[in-house]
Amino acid sequence: MEPLLVTSSFIFGREVMTQTVTGSTKTILGGVSSILEDEDFAFKRILKDYDLTSKVSVINVYLNELSKDEELFKKGAIQLAIKNVMEILEKISNEIKLIEEKIKIHKDLWFHRFRTPEYKTILINLETDIRILSERFDLLIKIKN
C-alpha cells in the first residue's frame, strides 16, 4: 500500500508544479505583452533588456520536461530548486499584475503624461526578481547536471 501512496503523491506533486508554473507563465507573458503595447509605459527598456518573455517561456518548457523524469524529480535538491524557481515566478507574476493595475490607475489621472508613475518602485523590485529568477534557474540546471 505504501508504494501506491508514494507514487500517487509524487504524481500529484508533479501535476501541481506543472499547473503552477504554467499559470504563472501565462500571467507573465500576457502581462508583459499588454504592458509593452502601452504607448505611455516609460520602462519598456527594462522588460526588453531582461528578455523576460523568452526567459519565462524557456523555463516553463524546461520545468515541464523535467517533471516527466520521475527519478530526477524525486531528488530533494531538484525539488527544492524547482520550488524556489516556482516561488520567484509567482512573485514576478504578481508584480506584473500590480504594474498593470497601476498603469490603468495612472492613465485615469489628470495630466498623467506629466506625472511620475507610482509603479516605478515595483519595476525596481521586478528587475531584482528577474535577476533572482536567472540565478535560481542557473542553479537548477547546475544541480540537474
Taking CA atoms, 48 is separated from 20, 23, 51, 68, 141, in Å, by: 24, 22, 5, 31, 24
Half-sphere exposure of 140 (CA within 13 A, CB side): 22
Most distant CA pair in the chain: distance in Å? 67
Q: Can you tell me the distance from the alpha carbon of 124 to that of 134, in angstroms, rounded to the nearest whole number?
A: 16
Burial code (b: 16+ CB inside 10 Å, e: under 16) for 26-41 equals ebbbebbeebeeeeeb
Residue 88 has a pLDDT of 93
Length of the chain: 145
Type of residue found at 35: I
Give the model's pLDDT for residue 128: 93
pLDDT at residue number 12: 46
Nearest to 63 by CA among 135, 129, 137: 137
Per-position pLDDT tens, the chain of length 145: 444 333 334 444 666 667 777 777 777 777 777 666 665 566 677 777 888 888 888 998 888 888 788 787 778 888 889 889 989 999 998 988 888 888 777 777 777 666 667 777 888 898 899 999 999 999 999 988 8
Q: Radius of gyration of the chain from Cα atoms? A: 18
> Domains in the chain and their CATH numbers?
2-144 (1.20.120)
Check residue 124 and give its pLDDT: 85
Cβ proximity of 32 and 52 under 8 Å = yes
